[in-house]
Amino acid sequence: MKKYSSPSEITVGVIGYGGAFNMGRQHLQQMQAAGMTPVAVSEIDPTRLAVASQDFPGIQTYATVEEMLDNSQVNLIVLITPHNTHAPLALKCLEAGRHVICEKPLAITTQQVDAMMEAAHNSGVMLSAYHNRHWDGRILQAVELVKNQRVIGDVVRIECHMVGYKKPGDWWRTSRSISGGILYDWGVHLLEYSLQLIEAPLTEVSGVAHEGFWGPQTAWKDDANEDEGFVLARFEGGQWLTLSISNLDSKGKEGWVEITGTKGTLVLDGGHSKLFQHIDGRFIVTQLPNPQDEGQLYYDNVRDHLVDGVPLVISAEWARRPIHILDLARQSARAGRALPAFYS
C-alpha cells in the first residue's frame, strides 16, 4: 500500500455532504485537523455543494462520483451516504485505486463487506469504517476497568439495548431496504463497543423481530423497519452477547450496555456509568462520570497508518465483526433458527 511522506500529501474528499447533521463538514474538518488536505466533494444536491464551497473555499465540487474519480486528485474518500449505497460506491472507489472510509455501518451484508475487502486488497488500498465511537469515553473507561483492571472478574455476558415506545420518523434510516433494518443504526455502535470486550471468535447468531405495528403508520409501509429486533450472539469459550433495539418497549431499560462478570456488573449510559461489585461480603455501587470522548483519534490513526504504517485500529476485518452479527440476525429472524458464523 502506498505511504505518504507527510499528512498533507493525503488528499481527501467526501461523497455526500450531509443535511441537518453537517456530516460532510465534520469529516473534512476532522481530517484537516489530522493534517490531511480536503480537495473534493461529490453531492447530488446542488444546494449542499454550494454549502461545501462556502465551508471550504476553493474545494472542487462534483455532481457525480464518476466526475470526482475522473477529474480530481483525491486519494482518500469518505462515504457519507445511506447504508445501502456503501458497498456499490465503495467498490467503485476502491477499484479506482482510492482509499475508502465508510460511515458506519460498513455495509449491510457480510457478502458485501467481503467483496469490498477483496477489492481493497486487489487495489492495494485501505478500507475502513468510521467507528469514531470506538474512542467514546464510556467504552474507553469500560475497557480499562473490565479488561485491564478486571474489576468485574471474567466477562460472562453483555446486554445491549436502545429501547423506547415511539413511532419512527419518515426518513431513510427507517426504511428497511435502505438502512438494513432497526438493528443497524445504534445497534452497530453498541456491538462495536461490546466487541472491544469480547475478543473470542463468534460461533452462532440467533435473531428475532416483530414488525407490522408502526410500519403501516409510516410513509414506508411494508418497507418500514421492524418494530423491534433482538439478537443473541454466542462466542467460543461460552460468552454471549445480546442486542435489543425497540420502538415498542413501554418500560425502558437502564443504560445502553450492561457487562456482567463473575465479580460484578458495569452499566454504561449516556452521561455516566455504574459499577456494581461484591467486595469482602459487601455490595457496593459506584457511579462513574464518563470521560471525555476522543473521536478525533479515529482520523489521527488513519493518518498515522497511511504515513508511518501504524496498525489501523478500525480495519475492514474489525468492522466486519458487527456487520456479520447483524447480517446473521436478519437471516436468522427470517429462517426461524440460529445460524453459524462464517469467515472469508
What CATH number corresponds to the domain at position 72? 3.40.50.720
The whole-number pLDDT of residue 162 equals 96
188 and 333 both lie in a single domain: yes
189 and 333 both lie in a single domain: yes
pLDDT at residue 2 is higher than 90: no
The answer to whether residues 241 and 155 touch, using CB atoms and an 8 Å cutoff, is no
Helix (H) or strand (E) holding 103: strand 99-103
Q: Write out pLDDT tens, residues 75-85.
A: 999 999 999 99
Give me the percent of the chain exceeding a pLDDT of 70: 99
Q: Is residue 238, in this structure, part of any structural domain at all?
A: yes
pLDDT at residue 101 is higher than 60: yes
Is residue 322 very low, low, confident or very high in pLDDT (cuts 50, 70, 90)?
A: very high
Q: Is residue 101, in this structure, part of any structural domain at all?
A: yes
Q: Write out pLDDT tens, residues 208-254.
A: 999 999 999 999 999 999 999 999 999 998 999 999 999 999 999 99
Query: What is the domain count for the chain?
Result: 2
183 and 281 both lie in a single domain: yes
Q: Write out pLDDT tens, residues 179-204.
A: 999 999 999 999 999 999 999 999 99
pLDDT at residue 21 is higher than 90: no
pLDDT at residue 19 is higher than 80: no
Q: Is residue 2, in this structure, part of any structural domain at all?
A: no
Q: Domain limits at 28?
A: 7-133+296-310
Q: Write out pLDDT tens, residues 330-341.
A: 999 999 999 999
Dihedral angle of Cα 271, 250, 329, 81, to the nearest 10 degrees: -60
Q: What does 260-312 look like in DSSP terms, one character per residue?
A: EESSEEEEE-SSEEEEEEEETTEEEEEEEEPPPP-TTHHHHHHHHHHHH-PPP
Q: Is residue 214, in this structure, part of any structural domain at all?
A: yes
Q: Write out pLDDT tens, residues 29-42.
A: 999 999 999 999 99
Give CA–CA dist 219/167, Å, rounded: 11
172 and 56 both lie in a single domain: no
The whole-number pLDDT of residue 3 equals 82
The whole-number pLDDT of residue 296 equals 97
139 and 184 both lie in a single domain: yes
332 and 218 both lie in a single domain: yes
301 and 191 both lie in a single domain: no
Is residue 271 very low, low, confident or very high in pLDDT (cuts 50, 70, 90)?
A: confident
Q: Write out pLDDT tens, residues 117-163.
A: 999 999 999 999 999 999 999 999 999 999 999 999 999 999 999 99
Give CA–CA dist 257/240, Å, rounded: 13
Is residue 22 very low, low, confident or very high in pLDDT (cuts 50, 70, 90)?
A: confident
Q: Is residue 277, in this structure, part of any structural domain at all?
A: yes
pLDDT at residue 20 is higher than 60: no
189 and 327 both lie in a single domain: yes
142 and 127 both lie in a single domain: no
Give me the percent of the chain exceeding a pLDDT of 90: 95
CATH code of the domain containing 218? 3.30.360.10
The whole-number pLDDT of residue 270 equals 86
Q: How far from 279 is each of 152, 153, 259, 276, CA to CA, in Å?
A: 10, 12, 17, 10
125 and 196 both lie in a single domain: no
Single-letter amino acid, residue 119: A
All residues at 6 or more sequence positions from 115 whose CB lies less than 8 Å from its CB, including other chains: 87, 91
Q: Is residue 315, in this structure, part of any structural domain at all?
A: no
Q: Is residue 143, in this structure, part of any structural domain at all?
A: yes
Three cell numbers, residue 330: 436478519
